[in-house]
């Protein structure tokens, strides 16, 4: 897929609020724009902003999509809007699109927050394939087309909490991880699920950097009951649009009750296994990064307190600090997964 990087959006380019009276109406209109783009029209990409709980559409001319659109662009014609209540929606102000796409940790593209947006290659391998291995009845290498055909896309607005003590609120587009898992029919031996990120030295400068700390590929994992939880989500878009490369295109994991490093990006392998997998940050610094990585204000990272967070965006003169919630505020949906566990030891 080829996506031009957005620039700052001028106030004069914001569509009047009365043009878009509800989120559902917006999603329908946004779908028409997507289909128009597929037909070859030079239409602007759609960006959302939230102001006092009301969604506005912003479509700057600088965000025109270049052809060709990915084959699955037609999927964006029928996105199910997020409901108006928790847990798949939050009334909190959305983090602006530019911050979501220009303040990232994706070390394959560099160590600084701005490196992923500056260095990521918008042209993804086509077709994109994902290897399905391990304890499943249907192993093999599947094109993204194979994986997305049977699923329905929906919008979910989740909080995202980084272990570095900053946070965002992001409107993702995707489908439940459970729907993907069911496609490949895990056996009774599949107790964990393991993910791997793309490694491409030709397009990922961080992979060959002499400052790289990671033993590539980047690896993450979940317990199977965590993966089957309704909150666990595979994202292929955000803000009503395709997922940018710096955010993990074409497909990434979202587990909103865990710290952001669990949300592995640009997935190329999914392995179903009986034993707990090694994960990248746990291998690097086991005393700092646990396998579970549940958001927990009572368990501090050696370098960052976890009871408070900085909600982005922030400027020198405008800083918002808020209290961090256990499980990032999703305890009602996930606390039962950890009954009887010592969350200080199993961090």
Residue 59 lies in a domain: no
Residue-wise DSSP of 78-128: GPBPP-SSTTS---SPPPPHHHHHHS---GGG-SSTTHHHHH--SS--SS-
Q: What pLDDT, on the 0 to 100 scale, is given for residue 47?
A: 37
Domain-embedded: residue 131: yes
pLDDT at position 295 is: 98
pLDDT for the residue 69: 64
Q: Which helix (H) or strand (E) element contains residue 192?
A: strand 192-197
What is the span of the domain harbouring residue 265? 82-338
Residues of the chain with pLDDT under 50: 1-68
In a domain, 140, yes or no: yes
- Lookup: tokens for 205: 């400068």
Residue 233: cis peptide before it, omega within 30 degrees of 0: no
End-to-end CA distance of the chain: 37
Q: What is the pLDDT of residue 23?
A: 45
Residue 42 inside a domain? The answer is no
Assess if residue 30 is contained within a domain. no
The domain total for the chain is 1
Between CA 89 and CA 324 the distance in angstroms is 18
Q: What is the CA radius of gyration of the chain?
A: 19
- Which helix (H) or strand (E) element contains residue 27? helix 23-38
Omega within 30 of 0 (cis) for the link into 68: yes
**pLDDT tens across 153-195, in order?**
999 999 999 999 999 999 999 999 999 999 999 999 999 999 9
Distance CA 48, CA 14 (A): 10
Q: Are 262 and 293 in contact (CB under 8 A)?
A: yes
Strands 140-143 and 252-254: unpaired
**Residue 6 counted as domain residue:** no
Q: What pLDDT, on a 0 to 100 scale, did the predictor assign at position 71?
A: 63
User: Can you give the CATH number for the domain in which 219 is found?
Assistant: 3.90.420.10
Residue 252 maps to a domain? yes
Closest CA to 218 of 289, 169, 126, 274: 289
pLDDT for the residue numbered 122: 78
Output the pLDDT for position 70.
Answer: 65
In a domain, 10, yes or no: no
Longest dimension (CA), the chain: 57
In the prediction, which pLDDT does 269 show?
98
- Beta carbons of 295 and 324 less than 8 angstroms apart: yes
pLDDT given at position 74: 80
């Amino acid at each position: 897929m080829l996506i031009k990087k957005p620039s700052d959006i001028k106030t004069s380019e914001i569509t009047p609020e009365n043009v878009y009276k509800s989120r559902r109406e917006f999603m329908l209109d946004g779908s028409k724009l997507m289909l128009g783009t597929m037909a070859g029209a030079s239409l602007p990409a759609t960006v959302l902003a939230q102001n006092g709980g009301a969604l506005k559409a912003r479509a700057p001319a600088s965000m025109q999509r270049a052809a060709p659109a990915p084959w699955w662009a037609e999927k964006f014609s029928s996105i199910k809007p997020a409901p108006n209540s928790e847990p798949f929606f939050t009334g909190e102000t959305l983090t602006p699109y530019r911050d979501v796409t220009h303040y990232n940790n994706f070390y394959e593209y560099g160590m600084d927050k701005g490196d992923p947006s500056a260095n990521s290659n918008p042209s993804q391998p086509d077709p994109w394939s994902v290897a399905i291995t391990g304890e499943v009845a249907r192993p093999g290498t599947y094109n993204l087309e194979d994986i997305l055909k049977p699923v329905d896309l929906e919008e979910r607005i989740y909080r995202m909490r980084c272990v570095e003590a900053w946070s965002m609120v992001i409107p993702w587009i995707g489908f439940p991880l459970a729907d993907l898992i069911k496609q490949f029919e895990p056996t009774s031996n599949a107790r964990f699920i393991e993910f791997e990120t793309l490694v491409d030295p030709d397009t990922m400068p961080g992979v060959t950097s002499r400052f790289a700390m990671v033993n590539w590929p980047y690896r993450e994992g979940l317990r199977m009951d965590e993966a089957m939880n309704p909150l666990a989500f595979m994202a292929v878009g955000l803000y009503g649009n395709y997922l940018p490369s710096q955010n993990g295109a074409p497909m990434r994991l979202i587990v909103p009750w865990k710290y952001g490093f669990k949300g592995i990006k640009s997935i190329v392998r999914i392995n179903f296994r009986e034993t707990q997998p090694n994960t990248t940050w746990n291998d690097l610094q086991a005393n700092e990064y646990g396998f579970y990585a549940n958001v927990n204000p009572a368990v501090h990272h050696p370098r960052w307190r976890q009871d408070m967070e900085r909600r982005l965006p922030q400027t020198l003169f405008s800083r918002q600090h808020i209290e961090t919630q256990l499980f990032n505020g999703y305890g009602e949906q996930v606390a039962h997964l950890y009954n009887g566990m010592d969350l200080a030891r199993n961090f």
